[in-house]
Structure 1
Amino acid sequence: MRFAAFLAALTLSSGFPCALLAHVELAASTPVAGTAAKAPREIALTFNQPVDQMAAAASIVMTAMPGVPNHGEMVIRNFTASWSEDSQTMTLTLRKPLPAGTYEIRWQAAAGDGHPMSGTFGFDVP
């Protein structure tokens, strides 16, 4: 009887619950982090698992502009966010293409474990 209980506990602790406790991470992005993109109108963030849409947010920040030394950070607000049916991809659709500059995408999200995670990635627009 003890052995059966031990096996049941071992089985439960070795698979299914681990998936529930995994933290959300950014799995992919478009534009790809660290690359150059020609005036994108969409930015896609794909996570490693479904995300709680109410606990997720993203911002677009221009961190540098060509020919403008000491350019301060400028938050870009002219976009709308939408989600894929599986709640794994957030798409930021811009009203106008991004002008030349260096950009940082800042995101925060939580998944099944409820633990909030955050991160950033950057790209350039030539």
Structure 2
Amino acid sequence: MSFIKTAVITVALSAGLLASGLAQAHPKLLSSTPAEGAEGAAPAKIELHFSENLITKFSGAKLMMTGMPGMADHAPMPVLAKVSGSDDPKTMVITPKAPLATGTYQVQWRAVSSDTHPITGSVKFKVK
């Protein structure tokens, strides 16, 4: 095999490995507490567990009340909450400033890891 052909194959393989490594660097939501669609008591905090270490200054979340008994047609209402990191750099913690009332909620999150590409999503749950 010629030197040029070997060099071209090496560069192509290296580029492929680099691209696959970057694609895997996006944080993915692995789980949440409460879980998506869960119904139960009001949580004191909400935890989002990701596949990658988060850059906390670029990551964040908003907690919204999306429904309450007797008021099915109201617009989503922001809920005051503190968003912080955790001892585990792959975990985001959302702590409501006051106990959550009966109703449905959505956490809208934005996660940024070492590749600096923001990934967004949401988790919905219900407080009984």
What interval of TM-score do these two structures reach, taking the shorter chain for normalisation? 0.7 to 0.9
CA RMSD of aligned residues (A): 2.0
- TM-score normalised by the chain length of structure 1: 0.84
Partner of 2:118: 116
Query: Whose Rg is larger?
Result: 2
In the alignment, the residues of structure 2 paired with residue 18 and residue 68 of structure 1 have an alpha-carbon distance, to the nearest angstrom, of 47
Aligned length in residues: 125
- Counterpart of 2:104 (choices 102, 116, 120) is 102
Gaps of 5+ in 2: none
- Counterpart of 1:88 (choices 71, 87, 90) is 90
> In the alignment, is residue 28 of structure 1 matched against residue 31 of structure 2?
yes
Gaps of 5+ in 1: none
Offset at 1:88? 1.0
In the alignment, the residues of structure 2 paired with residue 101 and residue 70 of structure 1 have an alpha-carbon distance, to the nearest angstrom, of 13
Offset at 1:11? 4.1
- Counterpart of 1:47 (choices 24, 47, 50) is 50
Offset at 1:8? 3.1
AA at the equivalent of 1:9: V
Residue identity over aligned pairs, in percent, reads 32
3-state DSSP of counterpart to 2:7: helix
Offset at 1:112? 2.2
Structure 1: 4+ residue segments shifted above 4 A:
none
In the alignment, the residues of structure 2 paired with residue 86 and residue 28 of structure 1 have an alpha-carbon distance, to the nearest angstrom, of 14
* Cα pair distance change 1:48/1:102, threshold 3 Å: same
* Cα pair distance change 1:120/1:6, threshold 3 Å: same
